[in-house]
Amino acid sequence: MDESRRNFLGATALGLGTLPFVSPAAAQTTDAAAEAAANDAVKPSAYGASTAGKPLDIISLDRLDTAVQEVIPEAGYQFVSGAAGDEWTLRENRRAFDDFRIEPKRLRGVSSDVDLSIDLLGQTLPFPIFTAPMGAHGMVHEEAEVATARGTGMAGTLYCSSGASHRTLEEIAEATQGPKWFQLYWNNDIEVTKSLLKRAKDAGYSAIVLTADALGPGMPDDFKAMGAPFRQDMVFGNHDPERGGSGNFFDQKVDLDLDAIKFIKDQTGLPVVVKGLLRGDDADRCIGAGADAIQVSNHGGRQIDGVPASIAALPDVAHAVNGRVPVILDSGVRRGIDVIRALAMGANAVAVGRPVMYGLGLGGAQGVQSVLEHLGQDLRSAMLLTGAAKLSDLDPSYINLVGPSAEANRS
Ligand SMILES: Cc1cc2nc3c(=O)[nH]c(=O)nc-3n(C[C@H](O)[C@H](O)[C@H](O)COP(=O)(O)O)c2cc1C
Ligand SMILES: O=C(O)C(=O)c1ccccc1
Q: Write down the ipTM of this complex.
A: 0.99
Examine the pLDDT at 14 and tell me if it is beyond 50. Answer: no
Tell me the residue ranges of DSSP E strands in 127-268.
129-131, 159-161, 180-184, 208-211, 230-231
Whether 80 lines ligand 2, by a CB cut-off of 6 Å, is no
Q: Which of 46-50, 54-58, 189-193 has the lowest mean pLDDT?
A: 46-50
In the chain, % of residues over pLDDT 90: 79
Mean pLDDT of 65-86: 97
> What are the pLDDT digits (tens) for 119-171?
999 999 999 999 999 999 999 999 999 999 999 999 999 999 999 999 999 99
> Which among 204, 244, 49 has a CA at the least distance from the CA of 136?
49
Mean pLDDT of 105-119: 95
What is the distance in A from the centroid of ligand 1 to the CA of 363? 20
- Nearest CA owner, ligand 2 atom 10: 135
Instruction: Return the CATH number of 3-408, one of 1.10.3720.10, 3.90.550.10, 3.30.1450.10, 3.20.20.70.
Output: 3.20.20.70
> What are the pLDDT digits (tens) for 346-388?
999 999 999 999 999 999 999 999 999 999 999 999 999 999 9
Annotated binding residues for FMN:
133-135, 162, 183, 211, 275, 297, 330-334, 353-354
Euclidean distance between the first and the last CA atom of the chain, given in angstroms as a whole number: 57
| Antiparallel, parallel or unpaired: β 21-22 and 230-231 | parallel
Would you list the domain boundaries of the chain?
A: 3-408
Residue 14: CB partners within 8 Å, gap ≥ 6?
A: 215, 216, 250, 252, 254
> Which among 169, 292, 319 has a CA at the least distance from the CA of 239?
169
Instruction: Indicate which ligand has the atom closest to the C-alpha of 140.
Output: 1
Distances (CA, A) of 350 to 74, 311, 326, 333, 334: 28, 11, 11, 7, 10
> What are the pLDDT digits (tens) for 21-35?
443 333 334 444 444
Q: State the pTM of this model.
A: 0.92
| Rg of the chain taking only CA atoms, in angstroms | 20
From the DSSP assignment, how many helices (H) and strands (E) are in the chain? 15, 14
Please give the Cα distance from 178 to 175 (Å, whole number).
Answer: 9
- DSSP per residue over 208-222, as a string? EEEE-S-SSS---HH
Whether 135 lines ligand 2, by a CB cut-off of 6 Å, is yes
Examine the pLDDT at 10 and tell me if it is beyond 50. Answer: no
Q: What is the 8-class DSSP label of residue 200?
A: H
What is the distance in A from the centroid of ligand 2 to the CA of 298? 13
Please give the Cα distance from 368 to 364 (Å, whole number).
Answer: 6
Please give the Cα distance from 297 to 231 (Å, whole number).
Answer: 27
Residue 410: band (very low, low, confident or very high) from pLDDT cuts 50, 70, 90? confident
